[in-house]
């Protein structure tokens, strides 16, 4: 039996799963009597890539909690659950169904975080013959038009230049028009390893006990997505605005003070260390980035956090996060197809399971499977590094990232993964590839201790795959990077190797690529 027609509305406001902000522009001039909200749990969005069960729980639970918050404000909400018999499963078809049911005169949405979704909404509006009002996303410091203005005429889009412009524009960590403390960047002081003593006792970040809503979602995910990666067990991510604010306070008090020194460090058995874990809350718009930046700045002003910690956190939120979103929207849709290094291999199966003798990979993927999270150095300099050195297709690495990370949204994942991690964009995001041997991992972690591979060896039974593939990566792309000033030291080191040694490395690398990619998940 078809669903009965809903009460006619003037505007149908579509709220996406990563736009859970009651103050968003889509709600401007919202009329409780004449307008309505549409929220949808869609099979297409939950399965267009295989998704970690905790990622699915996060989105569906946060959406259901936001529905309740809107209804408390007496806003009319049409909410479509995943198991609704009438749910057509896709943005386009479900929006069309609801425009027809409500006889809406207009569709309104805040700028989506994904080009694909924006086009689906445009197609739905066109099919229904109603206007689509896409409104600026005020969650961000910089809107897409402002970034376009910034980028116009620039030969290079360097993060550092953009970051300084953002600091000036928003008067963050500034004094008298100059950077506080006389320095723009404390990056060199964010790279301390823990040493042989390790990190010591690290206070675990706050987790949030699932309430009835979240438990219902967990049961649904285990039932409907039984074959998805990971498990719902141990889920404790923030799913409300209050949760997000509580996690921010927890980070500022307990982890921000040591975040600066050890921002790039890794340790076995420590999935979180001093990182904020705020990315899911920021990316679902449960937390305003201005509140996060202000909390860190105030901690610095109070002497509760050192300058390198405060600036390092501000750089990630005010600088990098805004920068990659600008790159995404200024370069899409062509950006997704870029593959500067012509990498074509599939993603190995062990990158989904962690079943490998490489301890750094096993530890990192194990944390990812357990928590739908690893911190940025594990993403960039372990898992991303291995994929790039192997020659995995960069868009497939992006799809893997979307699948397993709870905080992955297309706008943030694609430039980070395809651009920075895989150098697929040929230097738009990063001026050099982030390539390194196993010696980097050995320096920044304790993973190599007890691993059967030796990070100092490139050939032989105990040679570290990272080291073998690193030298072969430089060999394969030597001409491309010979003129890159940031790659000069690495290329000169390559030139010191004899032809015989390079031939042995090439043979070992070819065998590694064959063996490591012999099994794939998909």
Distance from the Cα of residue 430 to its chain's centroid: 16
Provide the percentage of residues in the chain whose pLDDT is more than 90: 93
Please report the DSSP string for 357-370 in residue order. Answer: S-HHHHHHHHHHHH
Taking alpha carbons only, the member of 297, 80, 70 closest to residue 179 is 297
Assess whether pLDDT exceeds 80 at residue 5.
no
- pLDDT by residue (tens digit) across 130-164? 999 999 999 999 999 999 999 998 888 899 999 99
- pLDDT by residue (tens digit) across 296-319? 999 999 999 999 999 999 999 999
Assess whether pLDDT exceeds 80 at residue 6.
no
Cα dihedral value 518, 479, 498, 453, nearest 10: -30
Please report the DSSP string for 133-146 in residue order. Answer: EEE--TTSSS-HHH
Mean pLDDT for all residues in the chain? 95
**pLDDT category of residue 190 using cuts at 50, 70 and 90:** confident
Provide the percentage of residues in the chain whose pLDDT is more than 70: 99
Mean local confidence (pLDDT), 454-469? 97
Mean local confidence (pLDDT), 122-131? 96
Q: In sequence order, which ranges of 284-391 are alpha helices (DSSP H)?
A: 289-301, 307-314, 322-331, 350-353, 359-371, 376-378, 384-390
Assess whether pLDDT exceeds 90 at residue 43.
yes
Distance from the Cα of residue 468 to its chain's centroid: 28
Rounded CA-CA distance 140/21 in Å is: 12
Q: Are strands 132-135 and 35-40 parallel, antiparallel or unpaired?
A: unpaired
Please indicate whether residue 222 or residue 2 has the higher confidence score (pLDDT): 222
Model-level pTM? 0.95
**pLDDT category of residue 191 using cuts at 50, 70 and 90:** confident
**pLDDT category of residue 196 using cuts at 50, 70 and 90:** confident
Mean local confidence (pLDDT), 3-24? 89
Rounded CA-CA distance 508/514 in Å is: 10
Mean local confidence (pLDDT), 363-384? 97
Mean local confidence (pLDDT), 192-209? 91
Give the pLDDT of residue 477: 96
Please indicate whether residue 287 or residue 186 has the higher confidence score (pLDDT): 287
Exposure string over 389-416, b if 16+ CB within 10 A, otherwise e: bbbbbbbbbbbbbbbbbbbbbbbbbbbb
Mean local confidence (pLDDT), 47-71? 97
Rounded CA-CA distance 481/187 in Å is: 24
Exposure of 334 by Cβ count < 10 A (0-12 exposed, 13-18 middle, 19+ buried)?
exposed
Q: CA-based diameter of the chain, in Å? A: 79
Distances from the Cα of 16 to the Cα of 44, 227, 316, 329, 342, angstroms: 14, 25, 24, 18, 34
Rounded CA-CA distance 300/294 in Å is: 10
| Distinct helix (H) and strand (E) counts, the chain | 24, 7
Give the pLDDT of residue 4: 61
Give the pLDDT of residue 1: 45
Q: Do residues 487 and 481 make contact, with C-beta atoms less than 8 angstroms apart?
A: yes
Give the pLDDT of residue 183: 92
Assess whether pLDDT exceeds 80 at residue 265.
yes
Q: Do residues 356 and 362 make contact, with C-beta atoms less than 8 angstroms apart?
A: yes
Taking alpha carbons only, the member of 221, 256, 303, 271 closest to residue 47 is 221
- pLDDT by residue (tens digit) across 212-256? 999 999 999 999 999 999 999 999 999 999 999 999 999 999 999
Assess whether pLDDT exceeds 60 at residue 2.
no
């Amino acid at each position: 039996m078809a669903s009965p027609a809903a009460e006619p509305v003037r505007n149908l406001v579509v709220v996406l799963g990563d736009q859970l902000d009651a103050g968003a522009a889509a709600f401007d001039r919202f009329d409780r009597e004449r307008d309505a909200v549409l929220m949808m749990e869609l099979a297409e969005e939950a399965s267009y890539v295989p998704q970690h069960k905790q990622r699915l729980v996060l989105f569906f639970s946060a959406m259901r909690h936001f529905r309740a918050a809107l209804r408390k404000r007496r806003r009319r909400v049409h909410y479509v659950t995943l198991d609704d018999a009438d749910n057509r499963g896709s943005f386009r078809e479900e929006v069309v169904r609801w425009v027809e049911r409500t006889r809406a005169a207009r569709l309104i949405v805040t700028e989506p975080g994904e080009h694909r979704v924006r086009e689906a909404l445009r197609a739905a509006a066109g099919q229904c013959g109603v206007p689509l009002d896409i409104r600026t996303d005020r969650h961000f410091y910089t809107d897409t038009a402002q970034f376009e203005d910034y980028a116009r005429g620039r030969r290079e889009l360097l993060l550092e230049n953009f970051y300084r412009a953002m600091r000036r524009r928003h008067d963050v960590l500034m004094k008298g028009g100059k950077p506080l403390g006389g320095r723009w960047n404390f990056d060199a002081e964010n790279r301390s390893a823990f040493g042989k003593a390790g990190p010591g006792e690290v206070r675990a970040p706050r987790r949030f006990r699932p309430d009835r809503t979240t438990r219902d979602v967990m049961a649904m995910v285990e039932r409907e997505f039984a074959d998805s990666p990971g498990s719902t067990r141990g889920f404790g991510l923030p799913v409300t605005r209050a949760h997000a604010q509580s996690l921010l306070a927890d980070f500022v008090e307990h982890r921000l003070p040591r975040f600066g020194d050890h921002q790039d460090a890794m340790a076995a058995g420590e999935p979180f260390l001093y990182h904020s874990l705020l990315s899911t809350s920021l990316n679902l718009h449960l937390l305003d980035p201005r509140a996060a930046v202000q909390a860190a700045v105030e901690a610095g002003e109070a002497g509760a956090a050192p300058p390198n910690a405060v600036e390092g956190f501000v750089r990630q939120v005010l600088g990098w996060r805004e920068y990659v979103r600008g790159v995404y929207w200024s370069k899409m849709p062509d950006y997704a197809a870029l593959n500067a290094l012509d990498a074509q291999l599939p993603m190995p199966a062990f990158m989904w399971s962690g079943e490998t003798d490489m301890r750094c990979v096993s530890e990192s993927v194990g944390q990812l499977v357990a928590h739908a999270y690893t911190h940025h150095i594990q993403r960039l300099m372990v898992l991303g590094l291995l994929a790039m050195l192997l020659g995995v297709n960069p868009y497939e690495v992006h799809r893997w990232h979307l699948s397993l990370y709870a905080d992955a949204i297309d706008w943030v994942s694609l430039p980070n993964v395809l651009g920075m991690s895989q150098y697929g964009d040929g230097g738009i995001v990063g001026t050099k590839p982030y390539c390194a041997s196993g010696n980097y991992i050995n320096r920044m972690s304790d993973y190599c201790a007890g691993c059967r591979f030796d990070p100092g060896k490139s050939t032989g039974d105990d040679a570290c795959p990272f080291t073998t593939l690193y030298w072969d990566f430089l060999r394969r792309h030597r001409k491309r990077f010979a003129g890159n000033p940031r790659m000069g030291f690495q290329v000169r080191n390559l030139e010191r190797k004899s032809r015989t040694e390079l031939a042995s490395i090439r043979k070992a690398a070819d065998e590694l690529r064959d063996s490591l990619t012999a099994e794939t998940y998909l």
